[in-house]
Amino acid sequence: MGLYQIVEAFLLMTNAVAILNEDRFLAPYGLGMADMGNGRVSPFKSQLIGLIHAVQYLRVPLIVANSIVIVSKLLFG
């Protein structure tokens, strides 16, 4: 397994997190931003909620990264 494949795997996982809908998926599991308001969230859960929302703001760079990976796959096999 090379470095390029590890980067691809990380990109795929980041894409999976970026498309999660807060109302339909995250809120029922207690991972919405509204859950951060009450002071009873564990530090790990608050870090996870912050990470999910940070990734959702990175959609435009993700589009660029996905485009680069697609073009490289088409050119180099």
Domain boundaries, the chain: 3-76
| pLDDT value of residue 45 | 86
| pLDDT value of residue 35 | 78
CA distance linking residue 53 with residue 20, whole number of Å: 10
Residue 12 contacts residue 1 (beta carbons within 8 Å): no
Q: Is 3 left (phi over 0), alpha (psi -120 to 50) or beta?
A: alpha
pLDDT tens readout for residues 39-62: 777 888 888 888 998 998 888 999
pLDDT tens readout for residues 2-36: 998 999 999 999 999 999 888 898 888 888 888 77
Listed in sequence order, the DSSP H helices in the chain are 3-18, 34-37, 43-57, 59-76
CA distance linking residue 28 with residue 3, whole number of Å: 36
